[in-house]
Structure 1
Amino acid sequence: MSEKDIYGNLPEAELNRRRESAREELVSLYSVRTREEGEFDAPDDASEFRDIDPELVTWEGPDDPANPRNFEKGKKWKITMIVSLYTFVSPFASSIVAPAVPAYAREFGITNPTVMSLTVSIFLLGYAIGPLFFAPLSEMYGRVPVMQTSMFFFFVFALASAVSQTTGQMIAFRLIAGIAGSAPLALGAGVLADIWNSKELAGAMALFSLGPLAGPVLAPVISGFIVENVSWRWVFWVLTIVCGLTGIAGLFLFRDETYAVVILNRKAARMRKETGNNGLHTVFEVSRDVATMWRLALTRPFKLLCFHPVVFLLGLYMAFTYGFLYLLFVTFPTLFRTVYGMSVGISGLMYIGPGVGYALGLLVFTPLMQKIFLRLTAANNGVSQPEYRLPPLLLGGLLISSGLFWYGWSAEYALHWIMPLIGAAMFGMGLISVFGSCQSYLIDMNPRYAASAISAATVFRSLFGFAFPLFGAQMYDKLGYGWGNSLVGFLALPIGIIFPALIFRYGKNIRAKADARLEKNESGILAKADEKAKAKLESRRMSAGGNNSDGMDNVELKEVRGDNAV
């Protein structure tokens, strides 16, 4: 694979001409194929274009063990388990502090209920910030270093929270911990898609999805007894221990990179060093302008939220329901301790209520969504539409509103403690329908923008999860649990019926127009980047004496074009 092995004794001018021509044709053909297949598909090595570009570095055949899709089953499940554990620990940290709030509020002299809620929900603001950066970083440097680094900082700031001495320190440390802890949620599904094919992915995703559901439910159950029997600081010490043990496990169990692009780029870099041929490259190194791809990756979620009506409406619905969930989480301790006279530990057990709803939702809505989707697809001559994912949303919306009404009025009249929990379970069951249907729709509606759409929805819902608890205490103080939850329930009911019905009826046309606008915008950005790169290249050629690319080696050409070499 040395330069001489490939090109023989060609003059340098002719060699450079052939190189540049081959790369331009490679980039053109691969760009067309990428547009057709979409960014959500696992990237391959473009090996079918080897006859066009002899310096293209690819996998060593379809069974290359370095390809993440060819990892042994044991290694795949090992990676799946550690990523699922990461995704459990982060949401675990989001709600573990809820029972401890009254205790550290007394120590820090916090009397404002909004500030008390802020110390809990500020963690979710970090969830809204982190995903915007972790996904692009993982595409440049790999999943493993980004995930491991984020978990290290997650551990550090969990530890810092345990030794906080002021309200400001607590809020700042929780925010940074939330940013670091968002990495598994932003990258976890991508890691699984890296190693499992579409037929095998379902089982791995089922294990992965348990973390975000089980974490927020189990954390307060544990922390309630810790606060009651030890001290509030031990809530954070336990969290620190869990984070530390998880991080250590990850260092041993999650060491193999899974992102094919980075693996191949590293292979090309190693081959360039071994052979001395700086012309060796992967398709990703010559087809990606780092600055332009960063710009597209970072701005696309905002474009989708602001200019894509379907993403906005479904993202808004998910955001509302997520906000309602954390509104319940921060009010559980007050309700069950003041109205029902429970101890801190026993009141923490009440978080099992939404957990039961999650379990029922998974059992009922997972097969129901698939059955409805397949039936509607069959009725449409076997042609599926993303809108076929939405009918269960109507039932989920009714469950969410009914659960809020049930929870609120049973708490208002201090009925038996099981009654509010039944309402919370109904809410949790409906929440599974909302998240399952909406996220499936966002993935199906346009595979090319699936990752960005999910990222946009994650940012949106995290902002609501952060904001809703801030006004919860004041709302319940003025309206009571009955009318307070009724207000939220009346808001959820029309959103849960109107949004799904509107998108089911008109979503296809709305999607087509919005996708066309986004495609036109991004094509314009890429075209301008190409023109700029060509102008810069021509300027350097002229300054080199007008000899085209003569005298310009591969490294100089990369510098001009801004190619991504890892």
Structure 2
Amino acid sequence: MNSNENNDHDSLPRSSSKESLASSLSSDLSQEQVPVPLHGTDNGTSTFGRRSSAVSTPDNGLRKERSYSSAVAVAGQALQNIRRSMSMSATASIDSNGTDPLQRIPTGYTVRDIYGDMDENDINLQRTATRSTILTTLSHRVQPSRYRTASRAPTTKEEEAEAAADDYEQVYDGVPDISVPTKQFGAEFAAIDPELVTWDGDDDPQYPRNWSRAQKVFQTMIVALYTLISPMSSSILSPAMTDIAASLHMKSDFIMSFSVSVMVLAWALGPLIIAPISESDACGRRPVLNISIWVIFVFNLACGFAKTTTQLCVFRFLGGLGGCAALNVGAGTLADLWSDSERQMAMAAYSICPSLGPILSPVISSFIIQAKDWPWVFYVLAIFNGAVAIFGTIFFRETYSPRLLKDKANRIRKATGNQHIHTIFEVADGSTRWEQIVLTTTRPLKLLFTHPMIIGLGSFMAFVYGFMYLMIVTFPSVWKGTYGFKTGVAGLLYLPMGIGFMLGTVFWSYAIDHVYHMLTARNNGVPKPEYRLPCLLFSGIGIPVGLIWYGWSAEKKLHWIMPSIGSAIFAFAFIAVFQTIQNYLIDMNNRFAASSVAAAAVFRSLFGFSFPLFANKMYDRLHYGWGNTLCGLIALALGLPFPIICFYYGERMRNWANNRMDREQARRDARNLERLRKQEAY
């Protein structure tokens, strides 16, 4: 079953299932004709099945030639010997408490415990053959059967048609949120690789999805707090712009708008680098999030000391680069912690903070600016930012499984002295450091310009996000100019939008989750990412209603409660867009969740940055009524057809795009395998 339709990776295999894993792998490898290593034969030597080049192994001073062409003939017998050897090892290593050999203490990973008295050259050859087996299996897994040996995409129309049919049926059972297409974080290869470190069974307490519910909720709330800081920082200076413009001699409305929205521009650029870094087993989520929260703290504080417009804009841009991490990596963190069926409520808590941030900060700064000079707006923000940073640095835990497994492997290496202990990611990653950097930084861009679902749904969310900032930047002129409220009272009128966000979070969390489970039940219990989308249709109606209601109420100077209701309606519908699309982007390709969210964030942030820049010009010409009507009609044109098209055709489009990505990964695996074979050739 496709990983984005039936994510079984949160149910890891128990160690006792090694026999079934080996049996399954024996069948797969026999069909795929891959090299199969043998462990621990009776005479202390190793036997290999090879497919092409000859490899020599010492035996009593003699060298015996073996070739890859014998792989098919020996594969079945090889796996039988593997199972027998592993069974003997298991019998010998079970202690009085019945400890499973795959759950052995670190000292069970020493070279002698694993290989006995085998010759060093035999051990090295066996390790090489094991890696070849794993790489070949992974490379074959992600390619349609007809093109596996070619490691290429189809070139003719006939080949494309057949490949499309193959791709539509191609599935991945239990592939988690990682860049390597392995099942159960490499546990599928435990029967043939005794130096492989995986989770200790499906109930391993160190696996993030097995943490207690209280711990997972606690970690989710920390990430949510991180996501609150950057949106608060983006809009906190709006009520103070008059004072800031006078102090820093800003004479252009464009410069004033730019100084507000420049932080959002950084949100569009930063994720292209930061999000993929968090998907590396060398880094993970925790360092990225903790460093980013301190970066935005430093530059929020620096904004209070800015003496020129240039300094203010530069500090806010750099702060935005730091703050963008939580807005994008946070979604990947939720995928680490929660299964698809559980994630909706977690996403609700996560999404409310970036929605409330732009609303709460103007309320706070409105009262600060009445009592203090404008730098105190940033000082107060920095105090809150610093408190969150200290709390998160102390209590936030790493959630990315590849990173956690790498830490586990490092501990075992240190305890045993066996430097060949490894995770599946270290085995399968034969690329150079430069190749890794290029791959991780270009992946979101590829998704942004080539993945139809990210282009479509990302565009809709981007327009809605731009409309939100368009509405927010008009609040000072509407409440202070049109209605004549003082700064403090005008700040309070941001709250109706905040109320709409909170009500929307409660309502849509339940509605989206209910519809998702209902449609899954109708589909014989098989979930699909598209089952998140039906509620998006209602937002396509609610957002235009809210925009038009707000615009004409302000245009006609109706009672202040009327435009407030319009902003609340808009906010209520906005939450459905954010929650639905964020969850869909995570579900549609769990292996690249952070990169998918980052790609969509580029659209979203560019619109959030650019819309306030032309807001004053647009409203000067069209006024609030027709200006918001134009925005409402655009939202209606996007919001009604998009959900319907994506619901009925989204599965085929995302499968086409995902399988193309998988073929690219397969070609990389094939290159790594060829590099490995050249290294082992004499």
Superposed pair shares fold, TM > 0.5:
yes
* 2:298 alignment partner, one of 148, 152, 156: 156
| 1:332 maps to 2:505 | no
| 1:108 maps to 2:248 | yes
Q: Specify the alignment match of 1:559 in structure 2.
A: none
* 1:239 alignment partner, one of 369, 381, 395: 381
8 Å contact from structure 1 (residues 27, 283) kept in 2? no
| 1:144 maps to 2:252 | no
Q: Cα deviation per residue 1:151-207 (whole Å; 9 max; x = unaligned)?
A: 111111011111111111111110111110111122223334334455654444333
Rounded Cα–Cα distance in structure 2 between residues aligned with 1:502 and 1:73: 36
| 1:264 maps to 2:405 | yes
8 Å contact from structure 2 (residues 347, 583) kept in 1? no
Rounded Cα–Cα distance in structure 2 between residues aligned with 1:62 and 1:396: 39
Moved more, 501-510 or 229-238: 501-510
Rounded Cα–Cα distance in structure 1 between residues aligned with 2:379 and 2:487: 18
**1:493 to 1:454, Cα distance in 2 relative to 1, 3 A:** same
Rounded Cα–Cα distance in structure 2 between residues aligned with 1:449 and 1:259: 12
Q: Specify the alignment match of 1:560 in structure 2.
A: none
Q: Specify the alignment match of 1:553 in structure 2.
A: none
**1:116 to 1:408, Cα distance in 2 relative to 1, 3 A:** same
Moved more, 361-370 or 152-161: 361-370
Q: Specify the alignment match of 2:6 in structure 1.
A: none
Q: Where does 1:247-262 land on structure 2 (aligned, <5 Å)?
A: 247-254=389-396, 256-262=397-403
| 1:507 maps to 2:667 | no
Across the aligned residues of Structure 1 and Structure 2, the Cα RMSD in angstroms comes to 2.6
**1:479 to 1:197, Cα distance in 2 relative to 1, 3 A:** closer
The aligned amino acid for 2:127 is: R
- In the TM superposition, residue 102 of structure 1 has moved relative to its aligned partner by 1.5
The aligned amino acid for 1:193 is: A
8 Å contact from structure 2 (residues 299, 315) kept in 1? yes
8 Å contact from structure 2 (residues 331, 586) kept in 1? no
**1:4 to 1:448, Cα distance in 2 relative to 1, 3 A:** closer
8 Å contact from structure 2 (residues 284, 403) kept in 1? yes
**1:112 to 1:529, Cα distance in 2 relative to 1, 3 A:** farther
Q: Where does 1:274-293 land on structure 2 (aligned, <5 Å)?
A: 274-288=415-429, 289=431, 290-293=433-436
* 1:475 alignment partner, one of 611, 614, 618: 618
| 1:362 maps to 2:470 | no
Q: Where does 1:518-537 land on structure 2 (aligned, <5 Å)?
A: 518-532=661-675, 534-535=677-678, 537=679
**1:21 to 1:309, Cα distance in 2 relative to 1, 3 A:** same
Structure having the higher helix fraction is: 1
8 Å contact from structure 2 (residues 428, 669) kept in 1? no
Rounded Cα–Cα distance in structure 2 between residues aligned with 1:263 and 1:381: 35
8 Å contact from structure 1 (residues 30, 46) kept in 2? no
Rounded Cα–Cα distance in structure 1 between residues aligned with 2:463 and 2:534: 19
Moved more, 458-467 or 518-527: 518-527
The aligned amino acid for 1:19 is: R
**1:505 to 1:294, Cα distance in 2 relative to 1, 3 A:** same
| 1:38 maps to 2:175 | yes
Rounded Cα–Cα distance in structure 1 between residues aligned with 2:296 and 2:603: 22
Q: Where does 1:167-186 land on structure 2 (aligned, <5 Å)?
A: 167-186=309-328
- In the TM superposition, residue 478 of structure 1 has moved relative to its aligned partner by 1.9
- In the TM superposition, residue 441 of structure 1 has moved relative to its aligned partner by 2.9
The aligned amino acid for 2:567 is: A
The aligned amino acid for 1:515 is: N
The aligned amino acid for 1:283 is: I
Q: Specify the alignment match of 1:5 in structure 2.
A: 113
| 1:301 maps to 2:470 | no
The aligned amino acid for 2:247 is: E
Moved more, 2-11 or 393-402: 2-11
**1:437 to 1:62, Cα distance in 2 relative to 1, 3 A:** closer
Q: Where does 1:163-562 land on structure 2 (aligned, <5 Å)?
A: 163-197=305-339, 201-254=343-396, 256-288=397-429, 289=431, 290-377=433-520, 383-532=526-675, 534-535=677-678, 537=679, 548=682
- In the TM superposition, residue 505 of structure 1 has moved relative to its aligned partner by 3.8
Rounded Cα–Cα distance in structure 2 between residues aligned with 1:331 and 1:431: 18
8 Å contact from structure 1 (residues 38, 449) kept in 2? no
Q: Specify the alignment match of 1:82 in structure 2.
A: 222
Rounded Cα–Cα distance in structure 1 between residues aligned with 2:407 and 2:587: 32
3-state SS of 2:240 partner: helix
- In the TM superposition, residue 494 of structure 1 has moved relative to its aligned partner by 0.9
* 1:98 alignment partner, one of 238, 243, 250: 238
- In the TM superposition, residue 452 of structure 1 has moved relative to its aligned partner by 2.9
| 1:20 maps to 2:128 | yes
8 Å contact from structure 2 (residues 234, 260) kept in 1? yes
Rounded Cα–Cα distance in structure 2 between residues aligned with 1:424 and 1:475: 19
Moved more, 137-146 or 325-334: 137-146
The aligned amino acid for 2:412 is: M
8 Å contact from structure 1 (residues 399, 427) kept in 2? yes
Q: Cα deviation per residue 1:296-339 (whole Å; 9 max; x = unaligned)?
A: 33223222222222221111000000001011111111211111
Q: Where does 1:53-64 land on structure 2 (aligned, <5 Å)?
A: 53-64=193-204
8 Å contact from structure 1 (residues 44, 260) kept in 2? no
The aligned amino acid for 1:248 is: I
**1:325 to 1:280, Cα distance in 2 relative to 1, 3 A:** same
Aligned residues between the structures: 538
**1:489 to 1:341, Cα distance in 2 relative to 1, 3 A:** same
8 Å contact from structure 2 (residues 301, 382) kept in 1? yes
* Structure-2-length-normalised TM-score: 0.73
Moved more, 406-415 or 377-386: 377-386
**1:429 to 1:303, Cα distance in 2 relative to 1, 3 A:** same
- In the TM superposition, residue 262 of structure 1 has moved relative to its aligned partner by 1.6
Rounded Cα–Cα distance in structure 2 between residues aligned with 1:87 and 1:313: 25
Rounded Cα–Cα distance in structure 2 between residues aligned with 1:402 and 1:257: 42
Moved more, 153-162 or 392-401: 392-401
Rounded Cα–Cα distance in structure 2 between residues aligned with 1:518 and 1:2: 38
3-state SS of 1:258 partner: coil
8 Å contact from structure 2 (residues 533, 643) kept in 1? yes
Give the unaligned 5+ runs of structure 1.
Answer: 542-547, 549-566
- In the TM superposition, residue 121 of structure 1 has moved relative to its aligned partner by 0.9
Q: Percent identity?
A: 46
Give the unaligned 5+ runs of structure 2.
Answer: 1-108, 143-171
8 Å contact from structure 2 (residues 176, 184) kept in 1? no
- In the TM superposition, residue 234 of structure 1 has moved relative to its aligned partner by 0.8
Q: Cα deviation per residue 1:276-300 (whole Å; 9 max; x = unaligned)?
A: 2221212221112354444333223
Q: Cα deviation per residue 1:21-62 (whole Å; 9 max; x = unaligned)?
A: 122223444666795433437985433433311222234555
3-state SS of 1:303 partner: helix
- In the TM superposition, residue 75 of structure 1 has moved relative to its aligned partner by 4.0
Rounded Cα–Cα distance in structure 1 between residues aligned with 2:334 and 2:590: 17
The aligned amino acid for 1:408 is: G
3-state SS of 2:640 partner: helix
Rounded Cα–Cα distance in structure 2 between residues aligned with 1:95 and 1:164: 17
8 Å contact from structure 1 (residues 404, 423) kept in 2? yes
**1:353 to 1:437, Cα distance in 2 relative to 1, 3 A:** same
8 Å contact from structure 2 (residues 136, 670) kept in 1? no
**1:66 to 1:444, Cα distance in 2 relative to 1, 3 A:** closer
**1:445 to 1:4, Cα distance in 2 relative to 1, 3 A:** closer
